[in-house]
Chain A
Amino acid sequence: MFPLPVHIYFEFAALLTSVIFWARIKSGKFRWFFPFLFLMLATELTGWYLRKENGFETNGYLFNFSVPTEYIFYAWLFARTYQTRSFRRIAIFFIYVFTVFCVAIYVLNGIYWFNSILLLVGNMSAIFFSCLYFYELLVADERINLIREPMFWIATGVLLFNLGEFLYSAFYKLLRQHGWDNGTKLFRAINNNLILVLYLCIIIGLLCVRTSRDYKATFAQ
């Protein structure tokens, strides 16, 4: 019935949401979701096509680039969101360090095979930055309606996705060395379902973005 895996439809839906609600998101940090989601969808589609045509091992290099981009994007997004200066600095510092780290890994291990260490570091950073964001939410001394807070949904998606993926990333090398997940059944079972959660949260987050005019209307009520 569906020629493509279900999670790709969710990614497409998220991209579509960013296009439909472009007028709302264009003036803030969320506008960068459009190129980000486009890149993610393009990578997933290409990866899926390569896998279908040539098998699992042939699309690793694609994710060697998309995974760091993804985590750098999340770190940047959190840096733009934090109210605490030190948190912002940590996120910015991570972006620089992680970029250098990625280049070093490419040089040492090459880019053809997927470098799971990048994913593992990315997972940990995303969990850490989400927690920092939730901490800020906890201590904030103003009324915040979480249901209508775009970053709450995005951070929720990012946290759940990375918590779910963390253990697989940690054992990735072992699984690959011994061929214990040939065909990536386990990986797909975990990752593809988590992608649904992540992109659903991103969609809700984008739907929650309000323009300054919306804010004015709310205050005028």
Chain B
Amino acid sequence: MREDIQGLQGDVRSIIILGTIVFLILGAFMISFIFLYRYRKNKMLLEKEQMKTSFQQELLRTQLEIQEQTLKNISQEIHDNIGQMLSLAKLNLATADVEKKELVTQKINASHHLVSKAIQDLRDLSRSLNSDYVSETGLLRCIEYELEMIRKTGLIKVDLTVTGQVYKINPQKELILFRIVQETLNNIIKHAGADLVAVFVSYEATLTLRISDNGRGFDSFQLNEHSKAKAGLGIRNMNNRAKLIGASFHINSAAGEGTEIAIQLPKDEINGIEKG
């Protein structure tokens, strides 16, 4: 009986000692796990914050570039278009001979038409000066406006095709997409030597933007093979920006066969809002 009790005493003591050791190991394991988990989570959160910051910086840069481009457009528009129209109206009025009533009426009507056109163009211009122009007007309307500006030069024909039901995209992403389109159109005017620009916008499950020209083109094979690292700053910027909003960016071109760039924004990225 006494031996039994002593045995039980030994058992209980062993349970307490071993159990305590096991509990402490469990506790230490739990704390180590929390420590490691937090370490990884902190790292992930830091990367996320950095991505957010770089997105905001890129967005700001994009806005500045759009503003810069808009100012260039306005300057050109005032000089080449509105200025010309007003000069013509002034000339009409200055050369109107009050003696010839019929001719005066004709010249006044022509001047009236020119001034009205100038006012309309000024209204369009003032709208494009608004800093929220892209988000307020919408991507499609902005592209139309850019193409209209190109068409007005009379050097390049433009064509815009839209398919699918137009939907709203996250304004920040819309701004970046618009900047890519603007940069592409700029490149076409500057370097392509094209006389036709076609823009295709497809509002399906994936938003697709395709801009093609019939200019001199270039060898894009190497560009797509060896990533965009070897590309010029402009193309690299466009590629990086597309990546930033979760879109794909492809260039297809061959010497003498024009160039086509394609941007595709998948459905799940269309409304992914990056709040600042």
A-side interface residues toward B, CB under 8 Å? 134, 137-138, 141-146, 156, 159-160, 163-168, 171, 174-175, 178, 180-181, 186, 190
Residues of B close to A171: CB separation below 8 A: 12, 15-16
Most A CB atoms within 10 A — which of B13, B23, B28, B35? B23
Contact B9 A163 (CB under 8 A): no
Contact of B9 among A134, A143, A166, A178 (CB under 8 A): A178
A-B CB proximity, top 9 nearest: A163-B23, A167-B19, A163-B27, A180-B9, A143-B42, A167-B16, A160-B27, A143-B45, A164-B24
Residues of B close to A163: CB separation below 8 A: 23-24, 26-27
Tell whether A146 pairs with B38 under 8 Å between CB atoms, given A167-B19, A186-B16: yes
Residues of B close to A164: CB separation below 8 A: 20, 23-24, 27
Residues of B close to A159: CB separation below 8 A: 27, 30-31
Contact of A175 among B12, B20, B35 (CB under 8 A): B12
- Bound state CA distance, A35 and B22, in angstroms? 33
Query: Is B162 on the interface with A (CB-CB < 8 A)?
Result: no
Offer 13 A-B interface pairs, CB within 8 angstroms, sorted by A. Answer: A134-B31, A142-B45, A146-B35, A159-B27, A159-B31, A160-B31, A164-B20, A164-B27, A167-B19, A178-B9, A186-B13, A186-B17, A190-B20
How many residue pairs bridge A and B at CB < 8 Å?
A: 63
Query: Is B91 on the interface with A (CB-CB < 8 A)?
Result: no
Tell whether A167 pairs with B20 under 8 Å between CB atoms, given A134-B34, A156-B31, A160-B27: yes
User: Which single residue of chain B is at the shortest CB-CB distance from A168?
Assistant: B16
Minimum CB–CB distance for B193 against chain A, Å? 53
Minimum CB–CB distance for B3 against chain A, Å? 14
Tell whether A137 pairs with B38 under 8 Å between CB atoms, given A159-B31, A163-B24, A180-B9: yes
Q: Chain B contact residues: over half helix, strand or loop, or mixed?
A: helix
User: Which single residue of chain B is at the shortest CB-CB distance from A160?
Assistant: B27
Residues of A close to B167: CB separation below 8 A: none
Query: Is B37 on the interface with A (CB-CB < 8 A)?
Result: yes
Residues of B close to A167: CB separation below 8 A: 15-16, 19-20, 23
User: Which single residue of chain B is at the shortest CB-CB distance from A156?
Assistant: B31
Query: Is B5 on the interface with A (CB-CB < 8 A)?
Result: yes
Contact of B38 among A144, A166, A180, A181 (CB under 8 A): A144
Given contacts A159-B27, A171-B12, A181-B13, 12 further A-B contacts (CB under 8 A): A138-B34, A138-B37, A138-B38, A142-B45, A143-B45, A143-B46, A163-B23, A163-B24, A165-B20, A167-B16, A186-B13, A186-B17
A interface footprint on B25-49 (CB within 8 Å = 1, 0 otherwise): 0111011001101110010011001
User: Which single residue of chain B is at the shortest CB-CB distance from A175?
Assistant: B12
Those of B167-193 within 8 Å (CB) of chain A: none
Residues of B close to A160: CB separation below 8 A: 24, 27-28, 31
Residues of B close to A156: CB separation below 8 A: 31
Contact A166 B23 (CB under 8 A): yes
- Bound state CA distance, A145 and B24, in angstroms? 24
Residues of B close to A137: CB separation below 8 A: 34, 38
Residues of A close to B16: CB separation below 8 A: 167-168, 171, 186, 190
User: Which single residue of chain B is at the shortest CB-CB distance from A179?
Assistant: B9
Minimum CB–CB distance for A168 against chain B, Å? 6
- Bound state CA distance, A2 and B30, in angstroms? 35
- Bound state CA distance, A143 and B28, in angstroms? 22
Residues of A close to B26: CB separation below 8 A: 163
- Bound state CA distance, A166 and B27, in angstroms? 12
- Bound state CA distance, A190 and B20, in angstroms? 8
Residues of B close to A146: CB separation below 8 A: 34-35, 38-39
- Bound state CA distance, A22 and B5, in angstroms? 53
Contact A145 B34 (CB under 8 A): no
- Bound state CA distance, A10 and B16, in angstroms? 25
Residues of A close to B17: CB separation below 8 A: 186
Residues of B close to A190: CB separation below 8 A: 16, 20
Residues of A close to B20: CB separation below 8 A: 164-168, 190
Most A CB atoms within 10 A — which of B5, B16, B35, B45? B16
